[in-house]
Amino acid sequence: MDIYIDNRQDKIEIDEKIEAIEGIINQVIEECLKEEGYSIDVEVSVSFVDNEEIRELNREYRNVDSPTDVLSFPMEEDSLGLFTPLLGDIVISLERALEQSKEYGHSFEREIAYLTAHSMFHLLGYDHMTNEDKKVMREKEKSVMKTLKIFKNE
């Protein structure tokens, strides 16, 4: 499993926490893959951005002109209908993650873990456009967080 992390923002200082954050991201990605029965022989790119960059990406790719917490960009299937080892890209607004961690009363690291799980399930084909789909996706996210012992008020 290859995970590439790119910090493209300078608003939230994470230098002292980067090893812990990278460790959490690796654990979450691996657990999401296990949950779905996928091989861990994949590549995932994770980019940290600020609210302005994620707003621009949201506007460009989803026609929504506002910041969001996380975006997922799954790789397209190849001509044989198989996924390449590159699973896709995850883009997390660290500004938004920090705001939400304070709003929900848990750690910044826990919020990044949750956003990573949420985005991974998008990369694996899940969505939350209907209440039924949302319920399925939330249960999967909860299962990963519980397995990793990452709880809401941490």
- The torsion angles phi and psi of 116, rounded to 5 degrees, stand at -65, -45
Contact 33, 147 (CB under 8 A): no
Please state, in angstroms and rounded to a whole number, the distance separating the CA atoms of residues 3 and 154: 24
Which token pair is 101? Answer: 């961690």
Q: 50's torsion region: left (phi>0), alpha (psi -120 to 50) or beta?
A: beta
Residues forming the annotated binding site for Zn(2+)?
Answer: 118, 122, 128
Contact 137, 49 (CB under 8 A): no
Residues forming the annotated binding site?
Answer: 118, 122, 128
